[in-house]
Amino acid sequence: MYKILISDKLGQAGLDRLDQMKDVAYDVITGLSKEDLIATIPAYDALIIRSGTKPDADIIAAGTKLKVIGRAGIGVDNVDLAAATQHGVKVMNTPRANSVATAEQTLALMLAVSRHTVAAHNSVAAGEWNRSQFVGTELAEKTLGVIGLGYIGRLVARRAKAFGMTIIAHDPYVAAETAAEMGIILLPLDAMLARADIITLHSVVTSETTNMINAAAIAQMKDGVIIVNVARGKLIDEQALADALHSGKVAAAAVDVYQNEPPVGSPLLTAPNVLHTPHLGASSKEAQARVGIDIVEQVVDALRGTAYRNVVNP
Ligand code: MLT
């Protein structure tokens, strides 16, 4: 019998799929401290997590039976991949399962921030009727700069095209011809930053991309640019963005992800013209069902030795 510990909330569809498997037993225990996880993990063959659990070197070393860590979602920046590799633990994610949800959240925030939707709602709810205060801008005929032209970046680009936007992008790992086939102009970062009316981030966090949107990058952008981040908080120097919002260099930002989550003390919380959401990119019912099913099937297949899909440390 394979034993799986699920230490973050997983979609019910994934648990239902596990219930159908006769050779698997699982426990859902969320909110464990690092010490509790170290004490708990030796009994399990696999660990399934979302972004809340952070399996570091100590936790992975304590997992003496541990063979697989399944990340229900895309980002594996909360897992110590080097430690997992050192201990022979396979780490796998579900790279496509929540992409549509994330792309739709990006468009939702882009539209909401362009039309002052939240501020206008708050005003009406407060008994006001200030139509002239909330004149927005259209997406049509604007230029969208996409940083990171992976699967989510491409879904965002396709949707933004439907709104009549011109799409430019920066991604050092994508060929210009590939982008051109999608009707996207690939540019060096500086040129892309200088041309975009709205900039949306879809990169993973690496040593190259950490704080890539910093004061120097913002200085290259158009005055009045809008920034949307539904990827990872660590891509943006929050103080630099807050300063640019205060000065008006950046007209508005939609921020779904933060350097630290929850973002206690983040300078973005007191900056003007920010639309905040609590890391909801992947939070659709459909995405969570897909993510849950995909990760339990992948993890169990790996435990059985029948297939190894989406292993990020092969
Ligand atoms: C992901 O990496 O899949 C998303 O950020 C959603 C999540 O953290 O669960």
Question: pLDDT tens for residues 47-63?
Answer: 999 999 999 999 999 99
Tell me which DSSP letter residue 204 carries.
P
Catalytic residues: 232, 261, 279
Q: Is residue 25 part of a domain?
A: yes
Share of the chain above pLDDT 90, in %: 100
Atom of ligand 1 nearest to the CA of 282: 6
pLDDT band at 227 (very low <50, low <70, confident <90, very high): very high
CA distance 218 to 241: 8
Domain residues for the domain of 74 are 2-97+285-304
Same domain, 70 and 46: yes
Same domain, 82 and 104: no
Same domain, 156 and 127: yes
Residue with the smallest CA separation from ligand 1 atom 5 is 75
pLDDT in tens, 228-267: 999 999 999 999 999 999 999 999 999 999 999 999 999 9
CB 69, CB 45: distance < 8 Å: no
Q: Is residue 309 part of a domain?
A: no
CA distance 147 to 277: 20
Sequence-ordered list of residues with C-beta below 8 angstroms from that of 261, at least 6 positions apart, any chain: 51, 233, 278, 279
**9-14 average pLDDT score:** 96
Q: Is residue 312 part of a domain?
A: no
Token duo for residue 235? 């891509």
**Residue 32 sits in a domain of what CATH number?**
3.40.50.720
pLDDT at site 15:
98
Residue with the smallest CA separation from ligand 1 atom 6 is 282
User: Sheet holding 274-276: strands in order across?
Assistant: 185-186, 166-170, 143-147, 198-201, 225-229, 250-255, 274-276
pLDDT at site 92:
98
pLDDT at site 88:
98
Going through 160-249 in order, the beta strands assigned E by DSSP cover 166-170, 185-186, 198-201, 225-229
Token duo for residue 34? 């690092």
CA distance 68 to 90: 5
Q: Is residue 313 part of a domain?
A: no
pLDDT at site 262:
95
Instruction: State the maximum Cα–Cα separation within the chain, in Å, rounded to a whole number.
Output: 65
pLDDT band at 13 (very low <50, low <70, confident <90, very high): very high
pLDDT at site 178:
97
CA distance 227 to 241: 9
Q: Is residue 314 part of a domain?
A: no
Instruction: Report helix, strand or coil for 292.
Output: helix
pLDDT at site 154:
98
CA distance 199 to 213: 10
Name all residues whose Cβ lies below 6 A of ligand 1. Answer: 50-51, 73-75, 98, 281-282
CA distance 189 to 165: 19
pLDDT in tens, 124-177: 999 999 999 999 999 999 999 999 999 999 999 999 999 999 999 999 999 999
123 C-alpha vs ligand 1 centroid, how far in Å? 32
Same domain, 92 and 119: no
CA distance 233 to 236: 6
Instruction: Report helix, strand or coil for 81.
Output: helix
124 C-alpha vs ligand 1 centroid, how far in Å? 33
